[in-house]
Structure 1
Amino acid sequence: MRSRIIAEIMEEYEKLQNEAKAKQKERIEKVYSKIPRIKEIDDEIKKLGISMAMAVVSGEQAEKIIQETKEKITNLKIEKGELLSFYKISLDYMEIKYKCEKCKDTGFIGSEKCSCFKQKLIDKLYQQSNLKEILKRENFDTFDISLYSTEIYPGEATSPRKNMERIFTDCLNFVQNFDNIDRSLFFYGGSGLGKTFLSHCIAKDLLDMGKVVIYQTAPDLINIIKNSRYDDNSQREVIEDILDCDLLIIDDLGTEPNSTGLSQLELFNILNARLLKNKKMIISTNLPLEDFDSIYAERIKSRIFGSFDVYKFFGDDIRIKKWITKSSVS
């Protein structure tokens, strides 16, 4: 996926350069039409440049010729500037105008990627992640730990807030050490407890780092895989992206149809292929572990519980709390 995205970006840069050159040509022709002497000056400067190059090659009185030619070129440029000023045309009007003056719309400064290239890469990664808009609202900066109760939760040894503080910290560490860890994350617990929100937090930070992140709900993921058998190459490319992206987020596991049938085989193939490539995942489910244990085949469970760090979410539905708080304020 990354190589395809980079190729798309380089095509965009080539288009920008061609557009910049075309617009420059239009401006030059406009000036030539209005001030014919400017064209004469430019032609003279080109001829002088050629004669100076020939003098360097021949070596005969090269230094003297070069000096005299430089003086002529300087005088011509002064005349050109005076003419442009007289007609109230900016001195750089005939120069090529780039979107990014730092890299001249090449994407690179020397061998280093320009900041505009990095931003283009991040923008494209956001587009393909399926998360662009929601990540503006759901990220580590907007996560509100105060929504979680400080009271010990029934049946648990700690409070929802203490539990969430631990999970939140581990999620931050997951991002910060992403390239050096070999574990994935498995979130389980009731709905409205922050599982998807934290997945979004992780996704945003990784996308901002230039990582390839793909988010899919379990039903959509299974449908994509099934459709790929009957679709064209573009659909198969999507499957390759799912298998090769830096982070795959599978949300709402357990809501896919026929979870005990063919979809389990598809799910296993994805899990197995990514784990063999040492590619990380986040899986979330609203199912309690006992239900998960009874629904999914042993080989799926062994892949998850053997290669994922498992986190239990508990407490009151945060979405309901947010709604109550919003309603009381309004």
Structure 2
Amino acid sequence: MIKGYQSQILKIYETIREQEQNALKERKNEIKGKLPNVLNIEKEISKFSIELAISSFKSIKNRDEYLKKLREKITDLRVTKSELLVSNGYAMDYLSLHYRCQKCKDTGFIGNNRCTCYKKKLVYLYYKNSELNTILEEDNFNNFSYECFSTKTSERYPKSPRKNIESIVKHCLYFIETFSSNNDNILFYGDPGSGKTFLTHCIAKELLDRGYLVIYRTAEDLIKDLRKIRLEHDYELENLLFDCDLLIIDDLGTEQINNFSKTELFNLINKKLLNKNKMLVSTNYSLDELLKTYTDRITSRLLGNFNLYHFYGEDIRIKMNLNKMKSL
């Protein structure tokens, strides 16, 4: 699913350039029929521009004065052309190629660097082609309700599940609003069905809708990706995982845990921390279970470099399904 985005994006740019070239031809044909003198002026401008370029390298008597006069002619013709277009209800740039991105001229690159518009297209393609596109139609803040969380307190926890989730959501909203300036990472841990994945989806949708590249992977799929990167040298996949704005790793602990997965998971987390590329990890494990399952190198980074949010309470998925059935 992830592989092949680069070729798809380059095809999108190629299509954009073709569309704009065709649009320009149509505008020129229109002007040819209504204001043919404008196109004659364009030809004169083109002729003098070529002469200017050639004369710059020729040995001409009083060359500076000659070049100055050529530039003045070109300027006068451009003014006349603009006046004709505007006086007849057309924009000054009506006969210019219209770029959808002025920075990269619809190529996707500025020099060797990707333009910001390239990233927007990557976000669109990933969002469109991933399972998130369907999931986030339901799992978003518009459908988030505190009503499914119990208001009852217990001796085990100082706050009720509802008060706890209210506090967590508040922190998550702040994380979203300050995303471009914060260096935070998030770890959701605790009981199954307590809202971790749903809230993760809510965060993903908000950031994707704001143009950030969010890559969502279950822990099992992530390890498969890391194995593919290692064995097949899939650099496009590697760039997506390591350079995205936010990498979400859902259900940590459900993957096959072995020396390879531990090593590659550490390398991923460590590299992203060093590069200040944000992560959100969710797990059904308790902190003690994380410490027993993973190496010290992994847990020291998860517990030391992530903001920890503990989820607890009844399985809200059951409550949500019951509420849906009641509303039918």
Gaps of 5+ in 1: 82-89, 111-116
* Inter-CA distance 126–52: structure 2 relative to 1 (3 Å threshold): closer
How far apart, CA to CA, are the structure 2 residues paired with 1:47 and 1:241? 47
Partner Cα distance (2:242, 2:118) in 1: 23
Please show how residues 298-317 of structure 1 align to structure 2 within 5 Å: 298-317=296-315
* Cα offset, 1:319, TM superposition: 1.2
**Distance (whole Å) between structure 2 residues aligned to residue 123 and residue 318 of structure 1:** 36
CA distance in 2, matches of 1:155, 1:222: 35
1:253 aligns with 2:252: yes
User: Equivalent residues in 2 for 1:163-312 (5 A)?
Assistant: 163-231=164-232, 233=233, 235-257=234-256, 259-312=257-310
Partner residue, 2:134: 133
Displacement of 1:15 in angstroms is: 3.5
Instruction: Pick one of 62, 86, 101 that aligns with 1:106.
Output: 101
Query: What's the secondary structure of 2:133's corresponding residue?
Result: coil
Distance in 2 (CA, whole Å) between partners of 1:264 and 1:42 is 69
Preserved contact between residue 31 and residue 38 of structure 2 (Cα < 8 Å): no
The one-letter code matched in structure 2 to 1:16 is I
C-alpha separation in 1, matches of 2:236 and 2:216 = 16
AA aligned to 1:243 is: F
CA contact (8 A) 1:260 1:295 kept: no
Say whether residues 1:319 and 2:317 are aligned partners.
yes
Deviations 1:119-153 (A, max 9, x none): 87445314325433322322233321121111114
The match for 2:22 is 22
Amino acid at match of 2:169: F
Identity among equivalent pairs (%)? 35
* Partner Cα distance (1:292, 1:58) in 2: 75
Contact 1:191 1:317 in 2 (8 A): yes
SS at match of 2:136: helix
Choose 1 or 2 for highest CA Rg.
1
Verify the 8 A CA contact 1:10 1:107 in the aligned structure 2. no
- Residues in 1 aligned to 2:142 and 2:287: alpha-carbon distance in whole angstroms: 30
How far apart, in 1, do the equivalents of 2:231 and 2:319 lie? 45
| 1:19 positional shift | 2.5
Is contact 2:38-2:81 (8 Å) kept?
A: no
For 1:140, give the aligned amino acid.
F
The Cα RMSD (Å) is 4.3
Instruction: Give me the whole-angstrom Cα distance separating, in 2, the residues matched to 1:50 and 1:273.
Output: 53
Q: 1:264 to 1:43 in 2, by over 3 A?
A: closer
| Superimposed CA distance per residue, residues 286-312 of structure 1 (whole angstroms, 9 cap, x where no aligned partner) | 123333232222221111111111111
Match of 1:327, as an amino acid? M
Q: Cα gap change, 1:24/1:273 in structure 2, threshold over 3 Å: closer, same or farther?
A: closer
The structure-2 alpha-carbon separation of the partners of 1:29 and 1:48, relative to structure 1 and needing over 3 Å to count, comes to: closer
Q: Matched residues in 2 for 1:312 and 1:13: separation?
A: 45
CA distance in 2, matches of 1:48, 1:183: 60
CA distance in 2 between counterparts of 1:293 and 1:59 reads 77
Aligned residues: 293
Structure-2 change in CA distance of 1:198 and 1:127 (3 Å): farther
Residue 5 to residue 300, structure 1, CA distance change in 2 (3 Å): same
For residues 153-197 of structure 1, what are the alpha-carbon distances to aligned partners after superposition, in whole Å with 9 as ceiling and x for unaligned? 462221110000010011111122234433311111222221112
Flag the 1:109–1:172 CA change in 2: closer, same or farther, 3 A.
same
